[in-house]
Amino acid sequence: MLRDVRAGGDSAVRRYASLLDDADLDTLEVPEAELEAAWDDTPDDLKQALQLAARRITEFHEATLPRDWVDLSGGLGELVRPLERVGLYAPGGTAAYPSTVLMTAIPARVAGVSEVVLATPRRGQEPLNSTVLAAARIAGVDAVYQVGGVPAIGALAYGTETIRKVDKICGPGNVFVAYAKRMVQGQVDIDGVFGPTETILLADESANPVFCAADLIAQAEHDPMASAILVTDSQNLIYTVEAELDGQITGNPRAETIRQSLERQGCIVLVDDFTEAIAVANHIAPEHLCLMVANPWAWAGQVRNAGGLFLGEFSPEVMGDYIAGPSHVMPTGGTARFSSALSVHHFLRTMPVVGLSLQRFTDLGAAAVRIAEAEGLPGHAGAVQARLDHIAAMQTR
């Protein structure tokens, strides 16, 4: 499919849209009239909630924005430059998440990316998700393309007559989208290849069992492969949380998914003390780590590996999903050991700058020559030595 899109451009994308999504597309870009209609159809209270989330996301990422720096005396510096064009992917159907549009587009905008576009699939003759389109408008997305799946990833990576090639692709998708992103990596950058979502809840005897159960359910309702784990040093808390889980799951519209997730991927771990609990979390390196303890800030410094850290009973991971501020796109599957949550840094490049003065060059030149000679590169040594000789000649005149 990627080869077809690379070779066939728009026609290949349209063919796959018809084959996979039963969508007969006259144009790949969503018409402005449809974007306006989606905005009008979005309830005012939902618009206000999305706008509040957008402001908080913007404020958080503005606070983390790195700046250029230059040390004239040392002749060194670093310039920070944004990517030029970023493509976002938003799944269709029941997996449409307007929050993800905000959490990916806004960091790119804050970083200074010149153009941000969104691809989301049209299913047959059904309208696109109006809330996703509203979120795209709030986040300042420049264009929306009504294509999805592997063809959308190919179009963003390679470019077509309508969809220009991007520098980076971000956003979640099914296993085919994930593998397509992996296959085009190198042609473009990607935010990552993400597995099922996961949360570890570390709780002591002070934790509210109602909150603990609710947080585990919130994680488990994503899908049967989602992982919700409770680690505690309190046997009494285990008893009360188990009882709360039974009560809160009963009657929940997603009860079947929740039970499958908890049975397949969830567990409760009893440890001797909270130091051991932290060690368990650091070993697993979860996407989300929540500390439901009496003094969470006192333990925060011992956490080494987590995609995101949520401290206290009024900082549940769900707040991070929607409105806290940091992006909810976080590393999964233990990759938090070496990777970080999506941020402005993912949309920036840094260029080191070297601008040595004559004196600084003179001070450093002999060492550079010696290292070049040790590496067997006489041309390198000569490039420096020629300047040193020139400086020495000037000084003897």
Residue 305: which residues within 8 A CB-CB, separation 6 or more? 281, 282, 283, 284, 285, 336, 337
Please tell me which residue in 287, 313, 317, 328 is annotated as part of the active site: 287
Tokens 């700058």 found at? 353
How many whole angstroms separate alpha carbon 147 and alpha carbon 121? Answer: 4
The closest of 41, 39, 10 to 27, measured between CA atoms, is 10
User: Is 287 annotated in the active site?
Assistant: yes
How many whole angstroms separate alpha carbon 189 and alpha carbon 87? Answer: 10
Backbone angles phi, psi at 81, to 5 degrees: -130, 135
Please tell me which residue in 61, 198, 222, 288 is annotated as part of the active site: 288
How many whole angstroms separate alpha carbon 293 and alpha carbon 299? Answer: 9
Tokens 């159907």 found at? 93
Taking CA atoms, 300 is separated from 283, 286, 304, 383, in Å, by: 15, 15, 9, 51
In three-state secondary structure terms, 352 is strand
How many whole angstroms separate alpha carbon 247 and alpha carbon 48? Answer: 33
Catalytic residue ranges? 287-288
